[in-house]
């Protein structure tokens, strides 16, 4: 959640941030009113408690006649204290709910607007000119069939639409991508993690996925558990309710997990192939750092994503996502989008978000920081969290197959990936 002091001291700044996201600023007024009501409820409760204590202190010194009257008054005041305590608890709940409804404030550098208002920061590589090479490129569905790599028909038969099997070289390709991503992450100092895909509600709420993204989340009926759409969720909750030593920061993790998304609102979009699916595997980078280092760490995460895409020899671009297309927790997000030849456009392969202290406040993750003065003391405060996709398997496979295909339906393996496929240089068709 945002810093409550920011809401109280600079409400107009919060209103401006809402406008930049294209959202109503009504939540600001609701939160301010809830804060006032909460403060009043606390004051009323404390006054009643003080009155109760003062009354209790008089009873031992009272005469028998006064004591009977005072005891009668204690029953009345006890009921009033109980009511005041209940009112205070209700006001606290309303205040917390109002705070949770406010997204993180988009960075000043983030473009204003919605999904189509992104800014292209750079292009890397040049899309292949298949016409100049003399053949029409096949899409990943046909290539996957030729290679015996992707089985969509049986995926639909077994699990329904937007499911698939990776078979043969397709399964090998997934494992190769995961291992190459994990090796790169380990080399950059990340701790490798195999993360759970089921989490409790607090982890989902703490990362902001029960807010605007709630419709895209799978809940396990009859159990207090959710299937995650990204290992950002378990990794953000990994250090919940902990105080981290500032000297240990940054803590960098690279987590593998299956991911599950309902793809709510995507009816009719990407119905062919494995671009938009309900289940996929992913390697996600997650970082805890000091708030003053968050922006620099964000650039580092983007750099690691670009390094991985460069190894895959893809043509891609980097975009600065507009504020209205940011997740609840992020102040800024960079996407790397690879050129997909048969679609004639760039599609997102990775993204990295700076969530500053927003998730840490919700999950009570603090750092112990040395005081700025010379006293030698320390104090605690929220840390910053960031996340970045190193590889989301299906889309990486789509980009590799379509980009590196050859006229006969075979697919050239990028040099950096070859050692992870036993030295294989070309994926050959198994059917004609």
pLDDT tens, the chain, 432 aa long: 889 999 999 999 999 999 999 999 999 999 999 999 999 999 999 998 888 888 777 777 777 778 777 777 788 888 888 999 999 999 999 999 999 999 999 999 999 999 999 999 999 999 999 999 999 999 999 999 999 999 999 999 999 999 999 999 999 999 999 999 999 999 999 999 999 999 999 999 999 988 767 788 999 999 999 999 999 999 999 999 999 999 999 999 999 999 999 986 666 677 789 999 999 999 999 999 999 999 999 999 999 999 999 999 999 999 999 999 999 999 999 999 999 999 999 999 999 999 999 999 999 999 998 876 656 678 899 999 999 999 999 999 999 999 999 999 999 999 999 999 999 999 999 955
Query: Which one of 15, 348, 368, 410 is the catalytic residue?
Result: 348
Examine the residue annotation and report whether 337 is marked as an active-site residue of this protein.
Answer: no
| CATH classification (class only), 119-427 | alpha beta
**Residue 158 burial by Cβ neighbours in a 10 Å radius (0-12, 13-18, 19+):** exposed
Domain with CATH 1.10.287.40 in the chain: 4-100
Query: Which one of 276, 347, 368, 412 is the catalytic residue?
Result: 276
Say which residues have a Cβ less than 8 Å from residue 89's Cβ, sequence separation at least 6.
none
Q: What are phi and psi of 163, to 5 degrees?
A: -120, 165
Examine the residue annotation and report whether 276 is marked as an active-site residue of this protein.
Answer: yes
Q: Which CATH fold would you assign to the domain 4-100?
A: Helix Hairpins (1.10.287)
The number of CA neighbours under 13 Å toward the Cβ of 380 is 11
Domain with CATH 3.30.930.10 in the chain: 119-427
Query: Which one of 88, 261, 300, 361 is the catalytic residue?
Result: 261
245: β partners: 368
Count other Cβ atoms within 10 Å, centred on residue 381.
16
Please report where in the chains the tokens 């396990």 appear, as a residue.
220
For residue 205, what are its two tokens? Answer: 């709420």
Count other Cβ atoms within 10 Å, centred on residue 148.
16
How far is Cα of residue 134 from the mean position of the Cα atoms in its chain? 43
CB 203 within 8 A of CB 217: no
319: β partners: 120, 335
Examine the residue annotation and report whether 261 is marked as an active-site residue of this protein.
Answer: yes
For residue 352, what are its two tokens? Answer: 């990295």
Examine the residue annotation and report whether 348 is marked as an active-site residue of this protein.
Answer: yes
3-class secondary structure, 378: strand
- pTM for the whole structure: 0.91
Q: DSSP alpha helices (H): ranges in 243-369?
A: 294-311, 358-363
Query: Which one of 351, 357, 362, 366 is the catalytic residue?
Result: 351
What pLDDT, on the 0 to 100 scale, is given for residue 352? Answer: 98
Angle at 79 between CA 73 and CA 80, to 5 degrees: 90
What pLDDT, on the 0 to 100 scale, is given for residue 61? Answer: 76
- Burial pattern 334-352, b for ≥16 Cβ within 10 A else e, equals bbbbbbbbbeeebbbbbbb
CB 152 within 8 A of CB 392: no
What pLDDT, on the 0 to 100 scale, is given for residue 374? Answer: 54
């Amino acid at each position: 959640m945002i810093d409550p002091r920011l809401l109280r001291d600079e409400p107009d700044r919060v209103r401006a941030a809402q406008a930049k996201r294209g959202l109503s600023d009504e939540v600001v007024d609701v939160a301010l009113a809830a804060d006032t009501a909460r403060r009043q409820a606390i004051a009323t409760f404390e006054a009643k408690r003080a009155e109760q204590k003062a009354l209790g202190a008089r009873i031992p010194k009272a005469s028998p006649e006064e004591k009977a009257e005072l005891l009668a008054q204690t029953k009345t005041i006890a009921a009033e204290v109980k009511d005041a305590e209940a009112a205070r608890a209700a006001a606290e709940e309303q205040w917390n709910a109002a705070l949770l409804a406010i997204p993180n404030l988009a960075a000043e550098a983030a473009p204003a607007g919605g999904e189509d208002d992104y800014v292209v920061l750079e292009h890397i590589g040049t899309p292949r000119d298949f016409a100049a090479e003399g053949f029409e490129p096949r899409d990943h569905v046909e290539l996957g069939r030729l290679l015996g790599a992707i089985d969509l028909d049986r995926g639909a038969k077994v699990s329904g639409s937007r499911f698939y099997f990776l078979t043969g070289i397709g399964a090998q390709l997934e494992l190769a991508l995961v291992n190459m991503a994990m090796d790169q992450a380990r080399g950059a100092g990340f701790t490798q993690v195999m993360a759970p895909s089921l989490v409790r509600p607090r982890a989902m709420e703490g990362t902001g996925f029960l807010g605007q993204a709630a419709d895209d989340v799978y809940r396990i009926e009859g159990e207090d558990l959710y299937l995650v759409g990204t290992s950002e969720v378990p990794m953000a909750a990994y250090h919940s309710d902990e105080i981290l030593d500032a000297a240990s920061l940054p803590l960098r993790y690279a987590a593998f997990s299956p991911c599950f998304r309902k793809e709510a609102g995507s009816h009719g979009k990407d119905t062919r192939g494995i671009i938009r699916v309900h289940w996929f595997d992913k390697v996600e980078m997650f970082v805890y750092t000091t708030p003053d280092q968050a922006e620099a760490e964000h650039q580092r995460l983007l750099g690691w994503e670009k390094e991985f895409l460069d190894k895959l020899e893809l043509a891609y671009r980097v975009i600065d996502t507009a504020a209205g297309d940011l997740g609840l927790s992020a102040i800024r997000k960079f996407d790397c989008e690879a050129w997909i030849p048969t679609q004639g456009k760039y599609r997102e392969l990775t993204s990295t978000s700076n969530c500053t202290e927003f998730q840490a406040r919700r999950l009570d993750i603090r750092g112990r920081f040395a005081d700025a003065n010379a006293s030698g003391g320390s104090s605690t405060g929220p840390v910053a969290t960031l996340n970045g996709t190193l590889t989301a398997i299906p889309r990486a496979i789509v980009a590799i197959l379509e980009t590196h295909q050859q006229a006969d339906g075979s697919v050239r393996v990028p040099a950096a990936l070859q050692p992870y496929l036993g030295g294989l240089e070309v994926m050959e068709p198994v059917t004609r």
